[in-house]
A and B are shown apart, each in its own frame.
Chain A
Amino acid sequence: MTAATAEADLTILVIDGDPDRAAVVERGLVEAGWLRVSVIGPSVNLLQRVQALGPDVIIIDLENPDRDTLEQMFQVSRAVRRPIAMFVDQSDSAMIRGAVEAGVSAYVVDGLRQERIKPIVDMAISRFNTFDRLIRERDEAQARLADRKLIERAKGLLMKNRGLAEEEAYTLMRRTAMKQNRKLSDIAQSVITAFEMEF
């Protein structure tokens, strides 16, 4: 997915309410050879910024409330450079579906050939998906870390208050979890709650 030299002159604007995701998309595009990439965040005077930048392609997150504003701008635009939604050219409906599912929408200057836009939209889709996966993994890692802390704390409470060895405390919780068909961290939470209520 490298931009041919001839394509590198396209001006791309990334609009995203999430600055972290915008940065991920921007980096992906720049690393692939599109050098003229700008990023704008939420709550700016969108129309003026877009008009000043005059992008060939706009990548904007599907959920962005500014899309309604952006679309109207295109509809009333009397300028030669008239951007349109990428949905107009349905020659690659798989790409469009992929974009909508990934939460990407794109607007392009009318007349720009589909094959010039496709790699840009593909890159944005892949970056959105990667970003989603990273966020999910981070959340899961945080949840696992939180679970481990709970289990450690419950183990400590059982050792201190019931005189169990570390291994015994762990086995007791593990067995209870299996018997009740619950997660080990839930049992740990119950243990903590029980001791906290006692004191």
Chain B
Amino acid sequence: MSETVKLGVVPLIDCAIPVVAHEMGFAAEEGLALDLVREASWAAVRDKLAFGLLDAAHLLAPLSLAMTAGLGGTPAVPVVAPMALGLGGNGITVSTALFERMKEAAPEVMAGPRGQSARALGKVIEADRAAGRPRLSFASVFPFSSHTYELRLWLADAGIDPDRDVNLGIIAPARMAESLHMGWIDGYCVGEPWNLRAVQRGVGVVVAAKADIWPNAPEKVLGVREDWAAERPDTTAALVRALVRAAQWADAAENRPALAAILADMRYVGVSPKILEPALSGRPVLRPDAPAEALDRHIFYRWQATYPWPSRAIWLLDRMVEAGQAALSAADATALARRVFRDDLYAAAVESLGVPVPEADVTVIGTHDAPRDVPARGGGTVTIGPDLQLGRRTFYPFGRDAASEAT
């Protein structure tokens, strides 16, 4: 008799891991029946997880931290993330009209590295200000999301103040392309396929991929309530194993066409495989009539993409403080990160799979421009991806006081 786990997913490429666990039988092999529920908004995922209408969720990593701390006008509901659901995968899209203005304002910038495309936006904003035109509007998917922090980083790197020079709003992922088309917003940061959908519809242009801003950044996690995990340690471990095996399957290049076909189903992402496949294979067309790019394919498993790295949670909390969403001391941030990002649960669950786990659970972020090997627990090494951020920002997750000592 298998145990049923009700798991909420939001229609995005990185919902692939739970979907594959269900469709390819990895959950069944762990004695679990996944009841996948497609959710339209992150607020609905949060509320249903908090009140037990969902057992588990495909959750924005920062939202797992915000829920536990009770940020954003909701009561504190402690959530744990016993694993991450891949890395990266977002992009920044602007309307075709804004793209034309950016090209005209700064052709040399638009011909340069995509990560710096906001410098052209800065010129457009200057012109708008001089002409007394209203501010441009950009949207992210949720206040507590890596999208919000990437958008802010992309703007700030070009000298644009995210709080004063533009309007920043929130729109659910599946509504982004339509909102751009209707002219309600001028640009947005969202996970795939909702950037490529705008390009395909001819309403937008992708001006920066996540890899241009911060490669291999934390994105989604598996979120379960802390009490749920404590009451069901075996179920939690079985769920992690099923999802890790699903991530391994999804990560293999040869499985990507099949994965695109699975995700195209209306119960999951509900977008044509023609859009999903280039996003999954890292061969997207970012500008209409341009050749396909050669990006790294979406990261589900490789480079420790399922390991819930506590230092990445500390980094996210630092972004929350920077964005004015939270007031936390470095010690509080570390404690909160460790309470939510439970790498101990991950390590215990995957031991029987022979999946290696990095020895150091806290590392400096932002100093590596190439993949590197780090020691694994119990000997050997694991390979992790580059993490050089836009503007070469380095983050020391040992607390701000320790930063000066570490340099």
Given A63-B40, A100-B53; A68-B75 close (CB under 8 Å): no
Q: Considering the complex, give the chain A residue whose CB is closest to the CB of B148.
A: A72
Given A45-B184, A101-B53; A67-B73 close (CB under 8 Å): no
Bound together, the chains give a CA A45 to CA B143 distance in angstroms of 19
Residue from the list B51, B143, B175, B182 in contact with A100, Cβ < 8 A: B51
Given A87-B74, A100-B53; A63-B169 close (CB under 8 Å): no
Residue from the list B41, B51, B74, B172 in contact with A97, Cβ < 8 A: B51
User: What is the minimal beta-carbon distance from A60 to any residue of chain B, in angstroms?
Assistant: 9
Bound together, the chains give a CA A105 to CA B41 distance in angstroms of 13
Which residues of B150-178 are within 8 A (CB) of A? 168-172, 174-175
A159 CB-CB contact with B under 8 Å: no
Whether A47 lies near B73 (C-beta < 8 A) is no
Q: Considering the complex, give the chain B residue whose CB is closest to the CB of A75.
A: B143
A96 CB-CB contact with B under 8 Å: yes
Given A100-B53, A101-B53; A63-B44 close (CB under 8 Å): yes
Q: Which residues of B contact A51 (CB under 8 A)?
A: none
Query: What is the size, in residues, of chain B's interface with A at 8 Å between Cβ atoms?
Result: 27
- A interface bracket (residues with beta carbon within 8 Å of B): 20 to 34
User: What is the minimal beta-carbon distance from A95 to any residue of chain B, in angstroms?
Assistant: 12
Q: Which residues of B contact A97 (CB under 8 A)?
A: 51
Whether B75 lies near A87 (C-beta < 8 A) is yes
Which residues of B38-90 are within 8 A (CB) of A? 39-44, 47-48, 50-51, 53, 72-75
Q: Considering the complex, give the chain A residue whose CB is closest to the CB of B71.
A: A75
Q: Which residues of B contact A84 (CB under 8 A)?
A: 73
Q: Considering the complex, give the chain B residue whose CB is closest to the CB of A48.
A: B184
Residue from the list A45, A71, A88, A90 in contact with B43, Cβ < 8 A: A71
Q: Which residues of B contact A101 (CB under 8 A)?
A: 51, 53
User: What is the minimal beta-carbon distance from A63 to any residue of chain B, in angstroms?
Assistant: 6
Q: Considering the complex, give the chain A residue whose CB is closest to the CB of B141.
A: A68
User: What is the minimal beta-carbon distance from B165 to any residue of chain A, in angstroms?
Assistant: 15
B307 CB-CB contact with A under 8 Å: no
Q: What total of A-B pairs shows CB separation below 8 Å?
A: 75
User: What is the minimal beta-carbon distance from A71 to any residue of chain B, in angstroms?
Assistant: 6
Residue from the list B44, B74, B174, B184 in contact with A88, Cβ < 8 A: B74
Residue from the list B53, B74, B175 in contact with A65, Cβ < 8 A: B175
Whether A105 lies near B74 (C-beta < 8 A) is no
Bound together, the chains give a CA A107 to CA B174 distance in angstroms of 23
Q: Which residues of A contact B171 (CB under 8 A)?
A: 68-69
A73 CB-CB contact with B under 8 Å: yes
Whether B41 lies near A68 (C-beta < 8 A) is yes
Whether B41 lies near A67 (C-beta < 8 A) is yes
B142 CB-CB contact with A under 8 Å: yes
Q: Please encode chain A, from 92 to 109, with 1 for each CB lying within 8 Å of some chain B CB and 0 for all others.
A: 000011001100010000
Q: Considering the complex, give the chain A residue whose CB is closest to the CB of B51.
A: A100
Q: Which residues of B contact A64 (CB under 8 A)?
A: 40-41, 44
Bound together, the chains give a CA A96 to CA B53 distance in angstroms of 13
Q: Which residues of A contact B53 (CB under 8 A)?
A: 100-101
Residue with the greatest number of chain B CB neighbours at <10 A, chosen from A73, A76, A90: A76
Whether B170 lies near A88 (C-beta < 8 A) is no
Whether A87 lies near B47 (C-beta < 8 A) is yes
Which residues of B7-66 are within 8 A (CB) of A? 39-44, 47-48, 50-51, 53
Residue from the list B42, B47, B75, B175 in contact with A62, Cβ < 8 A: B47
Whether B47 lies near A71 (C-beta < 8 A) is no
Which residues of B124-141 are within 8 A (CB) of A? 141
Residue from the list B48, B72, B174 in contact with A71, Cβ < 8 A: B72
Q: Which residues of B contact A123 (CB under 8 A)?
A: none
User: What is the minimal beta-carbon distance from A92 to any residue of chain B, in angstroms?
Assistant: 12
User: What is the minimal beta-carbon distance from B346 to any residue of chain A, in angstroms?
Assistant: 29
Q: Which residues of A contact B168 (CB under 8 A)?
A: 76
Q: Considering the complex, give the chain A residue whose CB is closest to the CB of B70.
A: A88
A131 CB-CB contact with B under 8 Å: no
Whether B44 lies near A71 (C-beta < 8 A) is no
A152 CB-CB contact with B under 8 Å: no
Whether A68 lies near B73 (C-beta < 8 A) is no
A147 CB-CB contact with B under 8 Å: no
Whether B75 lies near A90 (C-beta < 8 A) is yes
Given A63-B40, A88-B74; A68-B172 close (CB under 8 Å): yes
Bound together, the chains give a CA A90 to CA B50 distance in angstroms of 13
Knowing that A87-B47, A101-B53 touch, tell me 9 more A-B residue pairs with CB under 8 angstroms.
Answer: A66-B172, A67-B43, A67-B44, A68-B42, A68-B142, A68-B172, A75-B143, A90-B75, A100-B48
6 A-B pairs whose Cβ atoms sit less than 8 Å apart in the complex: A68-B142, A71-B170, A76-B168, A97-B51, A101-B53, A105-B43
Residues of B that sit less than 8 Å from A by CB = 39-44, 47-48, 50-51, 53, 72-75, 141-143, 168-172, 174-175, 182, 184
